Structure 1
Amino acid sequence: MVHRARLRIAVLTGVIITLLVVIVGSTASMVMTRAQNEQVWRELRYGAARGDLSSPPGCTWLYAPGVTAPRNGPAGFPVRADLDQVRRTHDAVERTVRRDDTVYLVRTQARADGHVVQAVFDMRYQLADRTHLWYALGVAEAVGLLAAAVTGVVLGRLSVAPLAEALGRQRRFVTDASHELRTPVTQVYTRVQVLSRQAAAADLPAPHRDGLARLVGSVGRLGEVLDDLLLSASLTAGPARRAEHRPVDLVALARSVVAEESDRTRDGRLTVAVDGPPHPLFVDGVESALRRAVGELLSNAIGHTPPGGRIEVALVRVGGGRVELTVTDTGPGFETAEAERLFDRFHRGGDGGRYGLGLALLREVVTHHGGTVAATGRPGHGARFTIRLPEHGPPPTAHAARRPVRTGHGC
């Protein structure tokens, strides 16, 4: 998250500086082009109306009947059609002619003495000035981008540093607090279990036994929350957890998780089917984290499936070198618009059910492993949760891992 924030600040800084350079450059180019055109047209109109036919100003040629055409004039001039039109209508004609890799401004008009004069101006020097301006703007843009990159990196580090420090402190607090609470909570859980068994053996009244049973469940859930917090903190630690990655057989892991939940499924009169290939499907990751993620999916399905329902766990290899694990149940389902919000922490569903940290932690685990998770469902038609993880090659066998040792002499 910190890296994305820094990158976003750098990109936004670069975009802002680039836009400023573009806006300034475009404005300068527009002003320069308009000023040049207005100046040239003013000079051209003056030359056509009052200019000396024998010695026109630079870059300008004047054509009139009975006047010898200039020797250095551009080819294709004068424009005879404009001369004929002015003779007929006595109205001035202006046009722009593109020829010989340049632009000519042409004005044809009748003078006060009745002679029709055509003035031609060569814009090549003005066009060269505009090209030089765009070249300078390109250099300024390159320098601006470099400055934007450096500025963005510096601003990103300076502005995000407090956020990174706060997140680090938060992660350390969660980890330390969870570690400190883990031992006493485990001791309380063990003691409550012992008391619950003693209460059952001593034939205490039913309200007392029910109260101890609820206490056992509450303390157990508290321990699960602490485990979730520890796992979430370890995942956000980043590269420190990477050393624990190893090839994990997702098929065997899913069957193991289903077997661990057999008591709950039997008590809830649920049917759980695992459909997977006979061969392993390996993914690269932390086995304990992946086990927790798959267990959360199965636990979520068990908690939302009514007695007599069915839960299906399917594993398959899909395109793009990925492994897909799907958990489908016959529970009440959920609204389609609610699918993404299910993965928010402590989200409360439309049916009043609260999802706590489980699904949010599930998404953290899957994202940490380079995968994706999605939920689909409809009210009254159950739900389906799909995890996709990058496939990984099988671990090296013990025989392949051993390397022959040469003894003796020789090449």
Structure 2
Amino acid sequence: MSVLRRPLRPGVGPAAEPGVKPGVGLGEVADPEQRALARTRWSISLRVAAVMTAVVVFIGAVVFGVLLLAQRGDAEREVRWAVTHGEAGNPPGCVWLLVRHEGEITGTPNPPPGFPRTTVLDQVAADGQAVLERLHRNNTDYTVLTQRRGSDVVQAVYDERFQIAARASLLLALAVAELVALVAAGIAGFVLARRAIAPLGDVLRRQRRFIADASHELRTPLTQLHTRAQLLARRVDGAAAAPQLATELQRLVAGTRQLNDVVDDLLLSAQLGAAPQEFTTVDLMALAGEVVASEDARAQTIGLTITLRRGPGRHLVAGVPSALRRVISALVDNAIAHTPPGGEIVITVDLPSPDAVRLSVRDNGVGFDPADAERIFERFARGSTGRGRRFGLGLALVREVVQGHQGRIMARGQLGTGAEFTVLLPADRRAPTIPTRREPEAVRLPASPVPTAPPAPRTPRQRAARRG
């Protein structure tokens, strides 16, 4: 693994690999708020459908239970009437009458297999107690009543196959009604949920537009203020000024930089929910080099060392360059804010697998409680460690951008030993193969660029030739 300390030149290396055309639609930054609204719509739809389904099931169960009780009551009335008044030669429909008279059994011809029940006839003949049974035989149900009639014992057998068919038809009708009700409830729930959540989505869009407009309006004057503060600070440093004035000017420069960071975060937050942005092929190592070059001077004033390490291979991902640059900038800024003077920040870009690119930012600063590894990515979360006020929006936006690029971010840390943030992004394998030069094992260059010599003046002959 090659090691680069303070990249070759500030701003060297474009974000996109040479030869790759920008604007290729490889994806778009996902909008967590829109995903949350979509989940809410589906949740409301499913709940409405579940409630309607439960209501239809309850009504169907009540109807089926009432029908079952009514059919059993009808069967009992049929066998009781047949036992009391029926004739074996002319019984009611679906009823067989079997009569035991002086030890002989006669009755309706062709009774179902298994009838008459002689043991029950003997029992009733002996004790005189009527016996009502419900039996399942011959793939159907029977209601059987055995009772005395004078000196005879009569057994009435009622076949419930038509009642069973009626119940099956009812179940089929209830199933169809349940399916129709489920579909109708789902559609109605989705429409109602969409109408109910539409005002919320409109409010979120208005909020994003306001944030974007306000950020754009604030960005220009803040940039001008920051530039003027820097120029004034340089003039004061070069002149004999009071140390207190120089300190206050440095604080002014730091304050304007923090305001610019906040505006950038707000603008990025609004852009995440705006129109989809087309992905391009981005060199993550080049972006990391640009960020390190821009933060090098600030790190030196604090007394920090920033080391950029590059693993072998091409570190290309599909994404939005400005958003990914803000991810790296926010992680480096977080490390600078939580690392004391004399500390070191190590940024590593490598390939843990052929299908992924990994960026890690590690420091040996104050660290954080491992229990806060997830909470630190919440919006406006702030810890009790570190220098200065923390705005708590950067890491939340970092996670949103990383997730929008189909990646993930993890944080590890211990109090007093430092922290490490690791970003895993899918490698862009559709980028063309471009030969790359081999990086030196270690390169050390000054933080500020070396001024170049002015061009040599032209001779009179050269000026005359140019005019001609």
**TM-score, normalization: structure 1?**
0.83
The code of the aligned residue for 1:199 comes to V
Cα distance, 1:365 vs structure 2: 0.7
Cα distance, 1:235 vs structure 2: 1.2
Cα distance, 1:346 vs structure 2: 1.3
State the distance in 2 between where 1:361 and 1:249 align: 21
**Higher mean Cα deviation, 333-342 or 210-219?**
333-342
Q: CA offsets per residue over residues 318-341 of structure 1, 9 Å max, x none?
A: 679444434344444434443332
Match of 1:74 among 107, 112, 121: 112
Cα distance, 1:8 vs structure 2: 3.0
Match of 2:280 among 246, 256, 265: 246
Partner residue in 1 for 2:136: 98
Partner residue in 2 for 1:404: none
The 8 Å contact of residues 314 and 326 in structure 1, kept in 2 or not, is answered as yes
Cα distance, 1:177 vs structure 2: 1.0
State the distance in 1 between where 2:365 and 2:127 align: 89
Partner residue in 1 for 2:218: 181
Partner residue in 2 for 1:165: 202
The 8 Å contact of residues 88 and 108 in structure 2, kept in 1 or not, is answered as no
Cα distance, 1:11 vs structure 2: 2.7
388 and 251 in structure 1: CA distance in 2 versus 1, 3 angstrom threshold: same
Q: CA offsets per residue over residues 246-300 of structure 1, 9 Å max, x none?
A: 1223344345434544445555555655565311233211011112112222322
Is 1:9 aligned with 2:47?
Answer: no
**Higher mean Cα deviation, 337-346 or 272-281?**
272-281
218 and 102 in structure 1: CA distance in 2 versus 1, 3 angstrom threshold: same
* CA RMSD, Structure 1 to Structure 2 (Å): 3.2
Q: Indicate the SS of the match to 1:299.
A: helix
Partner residue in 1 for 2:180: 143
The 8 Å contact of residues 252 and 280 in structure 1, kept in 2 or not, is answered as no
382 and 110 in structure 1: CA distance in 2 versus 1, 3 angstrom threshold: farther
309 and 94 in structure 1: CA distance in 2 versus 1, 3 angstrom threshold: farther
State the distance in 2 between where 1:23 and 1:324 align: 55
State the distance in 2 between where 1:320 and 1:64 align: 89
Identity %: 45
323 and 124 in structure 1: CA distance in 2 versus 1, 3 angstrom threshold: farther
**TM-score, normalization: structure 2?**
0.74
Match of 2:71 among 24, 33, 36: 36
Partner residue in 2 for 1:129: 166
Q: Indicate the SS of the match to 1:305.
A: coil
State the distance in 2 between where 1:265 and 1:114 align: 115
Partner residue in 1 for 2:379: 345
Any residues of structure 2 matched to 1:12-23 within 5 Å, and which? 12-23=47-58
Cα distance, 1:93 vs structure 2: 4.5
Any residues of structure 2 matched to 1:352-391 within 5 Å, and which? 354-380=390-416, 382-391=418-427
Cα distance, 1:7 vs structure 2: 2.9
Cα distance, 1:393 vs structure 2: 1.0
State the distance in 2 between where 1:81 and 1:256 align: 100
The 8 Å contact of residues 83 and 149 in structure 2, kept in 1 or not, is answered as no
State the distance in 2 between where 1:77 and 1:33 align: 25
Cα distance, 1:183 vs structure 2: 0.9
Q: Indicate the SS of the match to 1:356.
A: coil
Q: Indicate the SS of the match to 1:67.
A: strand
State the distance in 2 between where 1:318 and 1:37 align: 72
315 and 100 in structure 1: CA distance in 2 versus 1, 3 angstrom threshold: farther
- Larger Rg over CA atoms: 2
Is 1:291 aligned with 2:325?
Answer: yes
State the distance in 2 between where 1:220 and 1:251 align: 24
